[in-house]
Amino acid sequence: MNIGLTNEKKCIVTKELTAQSMGSGDLPVFATPAMIALMEGCAAESVAGLLEEGTTTVGTHIDVQHLSATPIGMEVVCKIVLKKAEGRSLHFTLEAWDESGLIGKGEHDRFIVYSKPFKEKTYQKLEK
């Protein structure tokens, strides 16, 4: 993986992406879980095309600050940078911006896994 790799992902804040709808609060503003999902998705997409066939990445850690509320109808843009890659471990910095400025920032770790064994191990939990 190339250190310094960047990616952007955008969304428009809809009613479904509000704290009120997602159950993370009672206001009709962009939900923190929605911002985190946008950030994780942006990081995952940034490396998806670079991975060995049969592999994917999974999130293992995220540390995020949600700094400012965003209303329904406004666009949010996530920007990520790959800061470190050691073996199968990837470390990203994250920022989210709305049309008024920075609304969130943080760090995120992802780990490269082999999809089939990962799913098999996960679903073995149902057998216990």
Taking only the tens place, the pLDDT of each residue in 24-76 is: 999 999 999 999 999 999 999 999 999 999 999 999 999 999 999 999 999 99
Given a contact cutoff of 8 angstroms between Cβ atoms, the answer to whether 116 and 54 are in contact is: yes
Q: Which CATH number fits domain 6-127: 3.90.10.10, 3.50.50.60, 3.10.129.10, 3.40.50.300?
A: 3.10.129.10
CB 11 within 8 A of CB 76: yes
What single DSSP character describes residue 78? E
Average pLDDT, the chain: 97
- Which residue in this structure is represented by tokens 């670079």? 50
pTM exceeding the 0.85 threshold for the entire prediction: yes
Mean pLDDT for the stretch of residues 8-35: 98
Q: Assess whether pLDDT exceeds 80 at residue 106.
A: yes
Residue ranges of domains in the chain: 6-127
